[in-house]
Amino acid sequence: MSAMSDQRRATPPDIRARKGGAPLVVLTAYTTPMARLVDRHCDIVLVGDSVGMVLHGLPSTLGVTMEMMILHGQAVARGLAQALMVIDMPFASYEEGPKQAFRNAARLIAETGAAAVKLEGGAHMAETVAFLTARGIPVMGHVGLTPQAVNQLGGYRVQGRGADADRIRRDAAAVAAAGAFSVVLEKVPDALAREITQALEVPTIGIGASADCDGQVLVVDDMLGMFTEFRPKFVRRYAELGADADRAIAEYAADVRARRFPAPEHVFAMETPA
């Protein structure tokens, strides 16, 4: 059960105040039914641009649009009662500059009811983070592996090894100093994530980082095992729903072909029984 279960709705200041306290629980959601399931267990529900890969079959997050994020954000908002809702800003909706970022962030919040946006990038995005927060838009930062920069990074590789660690330190410090209320650390070495967590005054949320981060986030479909072929190292599978669904669908198909379904109890009589 979420540590915020006694509150009607968590806020960005609530999350910031959790620095160094009970770990923050974060999961993604893209639909109303899933939002209802995760809401009472999570402190933050993230409407991630991973929706493009998880639900739309895209090869990366780069094809996700504002319209897709708004559609799924509205669906998630209908299922939440207490968790803080954060929504991803999709690729090309904020990189041009602070004014573009403000227009699109304001639209996401106004049309979905999200309380905050998440955007990727480090020191080069600090000006944009400061611009948004100064104008009343809470921002969650995201450094380390930033999937929207997958082409520039050369794939989904661990970031921050060796001399590259300084870049991740600078990026995390820059977005926190610019006003981000929390910072996602994705796919960075354990020791580096621990060091950054200790250095920042705002909570860190790890994914493929360290258990010592102030919180953890996973794509809900990954941790539920919806995709039997996708098994990244940093994901623990808490269920195997994909395999269970495959078995159930196979059983249904066999029953239909053998005319075992529908059975007498599943059909209707011509006349209503007395």
- Predicted pLDDT at 4: 46
The pLDDT tens digits of the residues spanning 125-155 come to: 999 999 999 999 999 999 999 999 999 999 9
Q: What is the average pLDDT across 103-111?
A: 98
Q: Does pLDDT of 272 surpass 80?
A: no
Strands (E) in the chain, as ranges, are 24-28, 44-47, 84-88, 116-118, 139-144, 182-186, 204-207, 215-218
- Tens of pLDDT, residue by residue over 175-226, are 999 999 999 999 999 999 999 999 999 999 999 999 999 999 999 999 999 9
Cα 24 from Cα 186, distance rounded (Å): 15
Reading the block at residue 249, the tokens are 């669908």
The pLDDT of residue 1 is 43
Residue 2 structure tokens: 């979420």
pLDDT tens figures, 60-92: 999 999 999 999 999 999 999 999 999 999 999
- Specify the amino acid at residue 253: A
Please state the separation of Cα 24 from the chain's center in Å: 13
Total-model pTM: 0.95
Which pLDDT does position 41 carry in this prediction? 98
Report the chain's mean pLDDT, rounded to a whole number.
Answer: 95
DSSP element (H, E) containing 108: helix 98-112
pLDDT digits over 25-45, tens only?
Answer: 999 999 999 999 999 999 999
pLDDT at 3 over 70: no
Q: In angstroms, rounded to a whole number, what is the distance separating the alpha carbons of residues 258 and 252?
A: 10
More confident residue, 232 or 146: 146
| pLDDT of 250 over the 80 cut | yes
Domains of the chain and CATH, by start: 12-240 (3.20.20.60)
Active site positions, annotated: 186
Place of tokens 């919040």: 109
- CB-based burial, 157-167: b 16+ in 10 Å, e otherwise: ebbbeeeebee
Q: Which residues are annotated as a binding site?
A: 49-50, 88, 118, 120
Residue 180: per-residue pLDDT = 99
